[in-house]
Amino acid sequence: MVDPLVSLILASASPRRHELLGRLKIPFRVHVAEVVEQDGRDRNPRELVAHNAALKADWVAERNPHAWVLGADTTVFVDDQVLNKPTDLAEARAMLKELSGRPHSVFTGLALRNRDQAFRLDQGVESRVFFRELTDAVISQYLAQVHTLDKAGGYAIQEHGELIVDHYEGSLSNIIGLPADETKQILTEVGLLT
């Protein structure tokens, strides 16, 4: 049974977002949005993640008008190309080769909604990740140790990131999938956190 006192809903199936939001010590439940997210390598990454985060939040808020609903979407961007989740290991390998030895951006869009209060907030966060030069052997080792098919860019910085990442700038939690400081700030502003 759903706890009626839980007024925050995470509109995401991502276990990483679930874990990161849980660290804020706020009660919430998950309601996965049944939407088709936009994709496309040639899309503007800021617009793409903003659209997808809003799409998820709006869908769940429509069905839960009394609740606060948080949607989020994350993607990787390099050379004017969006790198979303790879469809198979060959594509994951190609993505890692493309990122090898280079910096790239990780964008997350956040969307907070409350239909009863006619509240809409949209925010974007960017971090930079700098990859090591990756040999085929290192890529194979990484792919053998990390399930990458549900991760934008075909990697997870929090899982054996030392094999592939030299350093990063900005929010680590953003790179993982939910910028903790920004999320905490917006939830505090609406009174869900003190």
Q: 85 and 150 in contact (C-beta within 8 Å)?
A: yes
Q: How far apart are CA 77 and CA 180, in angstroms?
A: 21
Give the ranges where the chain is alpha helix by DSSP (H).
15-22, 45-63, 89-99, 136-145, 172-176, 180-189
SS3 105: strand
Q: How far apart are CA 152 and CA 154, in angstroms?
A: 5
| Distances 150 to 20, 121, 123, 182 between C-alpha atoms, Å | 17, 27, 23, 23
Q: Residue 60 corresponds to which amino acid? A: V
How many CB atoms lie under 10 A from the CB of residue 14? Answer: 20
| 3 a catalytic residue | no
Catalytic residue among 39, 42, 73, 80: 73
Please list the active-site residues.
Answer: 73
